[in-house]
Structure 1
Amino acid sequence: MKTSPLAYVAALAIVALPALGFAQTVKDSPELYAGEKTLYEAAAKEGLVVSFDTGPTWANWAAQFAAFKKRYPEVEMTYNDLGSAATVVALEKAKNRPQADTAYYFAASAVDAVNKGVVAPFKPVNFEKLPDVFRHPDGQWFTIHSLTIAFVVNKKLVKDVPQSWADLLKSDYKNSVVYLDPRSAGIGQVMTFAAAFANGGTMENVQPGLDYLGKLHKAGNVLRVLGTTPYAQFVKGEIPIWIAYENDGLKAKYTDGLGDDVAVVIPKEASAAAPYGISLVKNGPNPNAGKLWLNFIMTEMGQGIFAQGFVRPSVPGVALPANVADRLPAAPQVKPLDVIKAAAKKTEIDAGYAKAVAN
């Protein structure tokens, strides 16, 4: 029997993560995996890795960049923050002359990238440890962490913190809600499924989620819909309620100083947990540097860095830090997303969303 993604990631919280002491230079420390130094030598000749859609405020990527650069000083890092669906579009447009070495996205978009022939097979360190639902069989994508939909609330701007999707429709929350567009961002797709689960929908029937978003707009409660993550705006106090991932809220609360002014709520009716994957781009300009980067984030060190950013890692045996585990409450209402089924619903969500929120 296959382990569900949600049960699997929850099991990771059992053991406390030891001190990482991370980011020694590879030449001055033991290898994280066999062949690391040889791969680094090849990557150093390329000198650069181009990482698509790894925005630094998302999923603790900034810490990953810093650790990678310290360990591999002769390989520069460049990145962008496009959104999952937009990343696949960019890869397809540049198919004849790829600009990226790796691409990170909601795993349903990874399935789309495979279907469009823009990614290459690569099995990184710890690939064989991943459950089947967390990887493409040939390594054309693999999950590096999972994320859960939550309401991230600025309590300075919101008197009564909403606890449910039903609450969010109340007149108390006029012009208060911000979320990412399901047509361009993976989190928007996951949010749509979460809203569907909360309103009687399923993976096969996402219409209740689209209907809910339509009601949210008609109620006048949506402040704006964005294409990329508005973390900085939230921290600045510009967003009352952000339908986001729990790790963003926990980061704002515990890392970036907002403390008790932030509430992170997994809505009581239901939510969704989504695997996020990454791929080696087909015919990318720096293939060895790309492989070095992918291997790094799949090592115990790289996975531990995700955990420090309140993101649940995908590799078995990599435990969450004790203080992080305490801040991720049990949430039996969270349902794991089947990314194959989610990918099959993308066209329906795109068209249905435009119709549902039209004035």
Structure 2
Amino acid sequence: MTHWLIKAATAALVALPSIALPSLAMALEGPELFPGESALYEQAKKEGMIVSFDTGPTWANWGEQFKAFQKRYPGVELVYNDIGSAATVVALDKARNRPQADTAYYFAGSALDAVTKDVVAPFQPVNFGKLVPQFKQADGKWFTIHTLSPALLVNTNLVKNPPKSWADLLKPEYAKTVVYLDPRSTGQGQVVVIAAAYANGGSIDNVAPGIDYLAKLHKAGNVLRTVGTTPYAQFLKGEIPILIGYENDGLKAKYKDGMGDAVQVVIPSEGTVAAPYAISLVKGGPNPDAGKLWLNFIMSESGQARFAEGYVRPSVPGVALPASVAAQMPAITAIPLDVKKASDRKAEIDQLWAKQVLGQ
């Protein structure tokens, strides 16, 4: 995602299994999820389809969002692809004269690019007003739907005494145990630097303490290696003692992918940051009412809770986590990440990290 999120890319659009259309209009079951839902649904049915860019079903519980949407709104087919954030913005730009997508999902850094290229439209869905300022563009050209936070993902078969803080990682007992992503080539690496900066007295406006911390971690001999892509498969195989990675990967490894009690997900006691993942209504998209229906659906209380079932944090404050995952997700203190300032800091982070960590 502009180099912020690395995913396998495929340009093919994939349609969900079709649902037989009723012969008569169907009313929504239960109360409205948001004001005006029924009327918007009627308009969306006239369009009959929504094209959702970069919402791969295995990521962030999108697959379950698709199923719930199609169940609630018969007659509105949902079509998606999974091409990555940067590719999504490129695709929107190339198709600006005849847009193919109705909505676009990406790391919020790519959302800034989409706004600059003028390929997205203002839209304020339900709960937009509850979002903190760092999690939205003022007019609604993008808004955050969930967040990801750096955490310490610990293989307890390899590390008997898991660290509890950023400071703990500097201890000699963690020699040759730590893996994290290269901040020059990955968005997650950049976010880790910023999280470490806040934890060590810095901020988004003063990233030097984060670089200083990582340099100390290397000097102590505690870094096993840095990597250029997310090493999730290696973590699952038991090849990484401690991964400074996104919380959701650790929770997936523990509860979905078979590692169980061999994984401990530690939110450092000094805190972390919440990196925003955003969505936009595409400017001039072919199915604008269906697009608005989709965006309202995922920003509703139930839509936000469904993201948590994929182990990503809802962006709307106060949303209750589903009982199925509430006990599984650790308590968290996370500062909202300002992606505009983060983008402005990238060159500085790249230069300082190369100088202090690599000696270049």
TM-score relative to the length of structure 2: 0.75
Instruction: Identify the residue that residue 276 of structure 1 maps to in structure 2.
Output: 277
On the 8 A contact 2:183/2:193 being kept in 1, the answer is no
Q: Are the aligned partners of 2:267 and 2:330 in contact in 1 as well (CA < 8 Å)?
A: no
Aligned to 1:345: 345
Q: Show the counterpart of 2:8.
A: none
2:53 aligned residue: 52
**Paired residues of 1:195 and 1:271 also in contact (CA < 8 A):** yes
**CA–CA separation in structure 1 for the residues paired with 2:92 and 2:351:** 22
- CA 1:148 to 1:159, structure 2 compared with 1: closer, same or farther past 3 Å? same
Choose the corresponding residue for 1:174, options 167, 173, 176: 176
Q: Does the residue aligned with 2:264 lie in a helix, a strand or coil?
A: strand
Paired position in structure 2 for 1:336: 336
Q: Deviations over 1:80-136 (max 9, x none)?
A: 152x45644554455455443322233344334323322210111222333444322
The aligned residue for residue 193 of structure 1 is 194
Matching residue of 2:316: 315
Q: Give the percent of matched residue pairs that are identical in Structure 1 and Structure 2.
A: 62
Amino acid at match of 1:267: P
Alpha carbons 2:109, 2:340 under 8 Å: kept: yes
What is residue 142 of structure 1 aligned with on the other side?
143
Stretch of structure 1 that moved more, 188-197 or 93-102: 93-102
Post-superposition offset of 1:285: 4.0
**How far apart, in 2, do the equivalents of 1:356 and 1:284 lie?**
46
For residue 345 of structure 1, give the secondary structure of its aligned residue in structure 2.
helix
C-alpha displacement at 1:153, in angstroms? Answer: 2.2
Cα distance change of structure 1 residues 116 and 243 upon mapping to structure 2, 3 Å threshold = farther
Q: Give the alignment of 1:22-101 within 5 angstroms.
A: 27=27, 29-30=29-30, 31-44=32-45, 46-73=47-74, 74-80=76-82, 82=84, 84=85, 87-92=88-93, 94-101=95-102
Letter in 1 for 2:29: S
Report Cα offsets for 1:199-224 as digits up to 9, x if no partner: 34221111333454566667552252
TM superposition score normalised by structure 1: 0.75
Q: 1:199 to 1:88 in 2, by over 3 A?
A: farther
Unaligned stretches of 5+ residues in structure 1: 1-24
1:177-207 Cα shifts (integer Å, max 9, x gaps)? 143756453x333222012223342211113
**In structure 2, what is the equivalent of residue 120 of structure 1?**
121
Equivalent residues in 2 for 1:229-268, closer than 5 Å: 231=232, 234-235=235-236, 237=238, 239-268=240-269
**Equivalence for 2:131:** 130
1:224 aligns with 2:233: no
Q: What are the superposed Cα offsets for residues 299-333 of structure 1, whole Å, 9 maximum, x if unpaired?
A: 1220121233333323345312356444444455x
Checking the alignment, whether the CA contact within 8 Å between 1:183 and 1:349 is kept in structure 2 is no
Alignment coverage as a number of residue pairs: 330
Cα deviation digits, residues 212-240 of structure 1 (max 9, x gap)? 456666755225221xx555654454554
Change (3 A) 1:155 1:122: same
Aligned-CA RMSD value: 3.5
The whole-number CA distance in structure 2 between the counterparts of 1:211 and 1:313 is: 32
Q: Compared with structure 1, are the counterparts of its residues 115 and 311 closer, same or farther at alpha carbon in structure 2 (3 Å cutoff)?
A: same
Instruction: Identify the range of structure 1 (317-326 vs 73-82) with the bigger mean alpha-carbon deviation.
Output: 317-326
Query: 1: distance between equivalents of 2:150 and 2:83?
Result: 20
Q: Name the CA shift for 1:263/1:356 in 2 (closer, same or farther; >3 Å).
A: same
- Cα distance change, pair 176–340 in 1 and its aligned pair in 2 (3 A): closer
After superposition, the Cα gap between the structure-2 partners of 1:92 and 1:258, relative to the gap in structure 1 and judged at 3 Å, is same
Q: Which residue of 1 aligns with 2:16?
A: none
Shift of 1:32: 2.5
User: Contact 1:148 / 1:273 at 8 angstroms: preserved in 2?
Assistant: yes
**2:206 matched to which residue of 1?**
205
Letter matched to residue 105 of structure 1: Y
Could you tell me which amino acid in structure 1 is paired with residue 154 of structure 2?
Answer: V
The answer to whether the 8 A contact 2:135-2:336 is kept is no
Q: Which segments of 5 or more consecutive residues in structure 2 lack a partner in the other structure?
A: 1-21
Higher relative contact order (CA 8 A, sep 6+): 1
Give me the whole-angstrom Cα distance separating, in 2, the residues matched to 1:86 and 1:156. 39
Query: Distance between the aligned counterparts of 2:254 and 2:191, measured in 1?
Result: 23
| Structure 1 SS opposite 2:289 | helix
